[in-house]
Amino acid sequence: MTMTIDTLGKAVRHKMLVVAQCRGCGREARFLASDLAQFYNPGRSLSGLPFKCRECNLGDCRISASEYLNDRTREIIVWRPVKVKQSN
């Protein structure tokens, strides 16, 4: 089965992770698509999400959806998005 996960809403429906990998340093961050959907419009394309690398401060990330196995022996760390007010 092949399907294209191109929007946040689709990733949520399939209970997927959103993985952002920095093109600069290769660092990866994973998010639950359902967490991101609280902040971003589900119709938004994954590649358009504004991720930024914490290490090199580069906004150039490769964003993909990834399935996560419901396997309790394999733990992964996900980041939770938090909305903060920016004063500028």
- Under rule CB under 5 A, residue 59 binds Zn ion: no
Q: Which two tokens stand for residue 14?
A: 């399939």
Contact between 37 and 12 (Cβ < 8 Å): yes
Q: Which of residues 21-50 bind Zn ion (CB under 5 A)?
A: 22, 24-25, 27
Q: Least CB distance from residue 21 to Zn ion, whole Å?
A: 9
- Given 20, 33, 53, 65, the residue binding Zn ion (CB under 5 A): 53
| CB closer to Zn ion, 55 vs 67 | 55
Contact between 45 and 10 (Cβ < 8 Å): no
Contact between 78 and 32 (Cβ < 8 Å): yes
